[in-house]
Amino acid sequence: QQPVQSPQAVILREGEDAVINCSSSKALYSVHWYRQKHGEAPVFLMILLKGGEQKGHDKISASFNGKKQQSSLYLTASQLSYSGTYFCGTGGVRNSGGSNYKLTFGKGTLLTVNP
Protein backbone atom coordinates (compact mmCIF):
# COMPACT_ATOMS: atom_id res chain seq x y z
CA GLN A 1 0.00 0.00 0.00
CA GLN A 2 1.40 3.36 -1.06
CA PRO A 3 2.54 5.69 1.75
CA VAL A 4 1.23 9.24 1.83
CA GLN A 5 3.69 12.11 1.65
CA SER A 6 3.11 15.70 2.65
CA PRO A 7 3.45 18.38 1.55
CA GLN A 8 3.26 17.70 -2.19
CA ALA A 9 5.54 20.65 -2.87
CA VAL A 10 7.48 23.22 -0.91
CA ILE A 11 9.46 26.29 -1.92
CA LEU A 12 12.25 27.57 0.29
CA ARG A 13 14.82 30.29 0.28
CA GLU A 14 18.37 29.18 0.84
CA GLY A 15 19.02 28.71 4.54
CA GLU A 16 15.42 27.92 5.48
CA ASP A 17 14.26 24.66 7.02
CA ALA A 18 11.69 22.14 5.83
CA VAL A 19 10.02 18.98 7.08
CA ILE A 20 8.67 16.27 4.79
CA ASN A 21 6.29 13.71 6.22
CA CYS A 22 5.51 10.15 5.24
CA SER A 23 2.74 8.02 6.70
CA SER A 24 1.40 4.56 6.12
CA SER A 25 -1.76 2.73 7.08
CA LYS A 26 0.10 -0.57 7.57
CA ALA A 27 2.71 -1.69 10.06
CA LEU A 28 6.18 -0.81 8.87
CA TYR A 29 9.58 -2.40 9.29
CA SER A 30 11.56 0.29 7.55
CA VAL A 31 11.31 3.67 5.89
CA HIS A 32 13.73 4.69 3.16
CA TRP A 33 14.26 8.24 1.92
CA TYR A 34 15.59 9.09 -1.53
CA ARG A 35 16.08 12.31 -3.47
CA GLN A 36 15.74 12.48 -7.23
CA LYS A 37 16.82 15.45 -9.28
CA HIS A 38 15.24 16.03 -12.66
CA GLY A 39 16.61 13.60 -15.23
CA GLU A 40 18.74 11.76 -12.69
CA ALA A 41 18.58 8.57 -10.66
CA PRO A 42 17.16 8.52 -7.13
CA VAL A 43 19.90 8.90 -4.52
CA PHE A 44 19.79 7.26 -1.10
CA LEU A 45 19.46 9.60 1.89
CA MET A 46 18.38 7.62 4.94
CA ILE A 47 17.00 4.34 6.24
CA LEU A 48 15.07 4.15 9.50
CA LEU A 49 14.14 0.85 11.07
CA LYS A 50 11.37 0.01 13.48
CA GLY A 51 13.87 -0.95 16.15
CA GLY A 52 15.33 2.56 16.14
CA GLU A 53 18.38 1.94 13.99
CA GLN A 54 19.23 4.50 11.36
CA LYS A 55 21.78 4.86 8.65
CA GLY A 56 22.35 7.59 6.15
CA HIS A 57 24.13 10.81 5.42
CA ASP A 58 25.43 12.86 8.34
CA LYS A 59 23.79 16.06 7.16
CA ILE A 60 20.34 14.49 6.93
CA SER A 61 18.14 13.84 9.91
CA ALA A 62 14.90 11.96 10.14
CA SER A 63 12.57 10.33 12.62
CA PHE A 64 10.41 7.21 12.58
CA ASN A 65 7.43 6.59 14.83
CA GLY A 66 6.77 2.87 14.48
CA LYS A 67 3.54 2.99 16.46
CA LYS A 68 2.04 5.65 14.23
CA GLN A 69 3.69 4.35 11.05
CA GLN A 70 5.04 7.82 10.37
CA SER A 71 8.38 9.22 9.38
CA SER A 72 9.65 12.76 8.91
CA LEU A 73 12.67 14.04 7.04
CA TYR A 74 14.24 17.23 8.37
CA LEU A 75 16.12 19.51 6.03
CA THR A 76 17.87 22.30 7.89
CA ALA A 77 19.74 25.31 6.55
CA SER A 78 18.72 24.30 3.05
CA GLN A 79 21.12 24.70 0.15
CA LEU A 80 20.42 25.06 -3.55
CA SER A 81 21.62 21.48 -4.01
CA TYR A 82 18.74 20.22 -1.86
CA SER A 83 16.28 20.92 -4.67
CA GLY A 84 14.64 17.83 -6.09
CA THR A 85 11.84 15.37 -5.48
CA TYR A 86 11.97 13.49 -2.21
CA PHE A 87 10.47 10.02 -2.05
CA CYS A 88 9.83 7.91 0.97
CA GLY A 89 9.71 4.17 0.45
CA THR A 90 8.10 1.92 2.99
CA GLY A 91 8.21 -1.79 3.62
CA GLY A 92 6.32 -4.06 5.91
CA VAL A 93 7.36 -6.99 8.01
CA ARG A 94 10.96 -8.00 7.57
CA ASN A 95 11.26 -11.37 5.90
CA SER A 96 14.16 -12.72 7.91
CA GLY A 97 16.46 -14.80 5.80
CA GLY A 98 14.26 -14.26 2.80
CA SER A 99 14.50 -11.97 -0.13
CA ASN A 100 10.99 -10.73 -0.63
CA TYR A 101 11.39 -7.30 0.87
CA LYS A 102 9.51 -4.81 -1.25
CA LEU A 103 9.62 -1.01 -1.13
CA THR A 104 6.59 0.99 -2.10
CA PHE A 105 7.28 4.65 -2.80
CA GLY A 106 5.08 7.60 -1.98
CA LYS A 107 4.12 10.11 -4.67
CA GLY A 108 6.98 12.40 -3.76
CA THR A 109 7.52 15.92 -2.43
CA LEU A 110 8.95 18.49 -4.83
CA LEU A 111 11.38 20.74 -2.97
CA THR A 112 12.60 23.93 -4.62
CA VAL A 113 15.30 26.00 -2.96
CA ASN A 114 15.76 29.48 -4.34
CA PRO A 115 18.70 31.84 -3.77
Partner 1 sequence: DTEVTQTPKHLVMGMTNKKSLKCEQHMGHRAMYWYKQKAKKPPELMFVYSYEKLSINESVPSRFSPECPNSSLLNLHLHALQPEDSALYLCASSQDGQGYNEQFFGPGTRLTVL
Binding site for partner 1 (CB under 8 A): 29-30, 32, 34, 40-44, 47, 49, 53, 55-56, 87, 91, 94-95, 98-108
In whole angstroms, give the CA distance from residue 78 to residue 46: 17
81: closest CA among 114, 58, 108?
A: 114
In whole angstroms, give the CA distance from residue 17 to residue 32: 20
Least Å distance, CB 43 to partner 1, is 7
Q: Closer to partner 1 at the Cβ: 19 or 49? A: 49
39: closest CA among 87, 85, 91?
A: 85
Least Å distance, CB 45 to partner 1, is 9
Least Å distance, CB 62 to partner 1, is 13
Q: Closer to partner 1 at the Cβ: 16 or 105? A: 105
Q: Closer to partner 1 at the Cβ: 16 or 56? A: 56
Can you name the residues that pair with 115 across neighbouring β-strands? none
In whole angstroms, give the CA distance from residue 8 to residue 111: 9
In whole angstroms, give the CA distance from residue 77 to residue 91: 30
Least Å distance, CB 16 to partner 1, is 24
Q: Closer to partner 1 at the Cβ: 13 or 38? A: 38
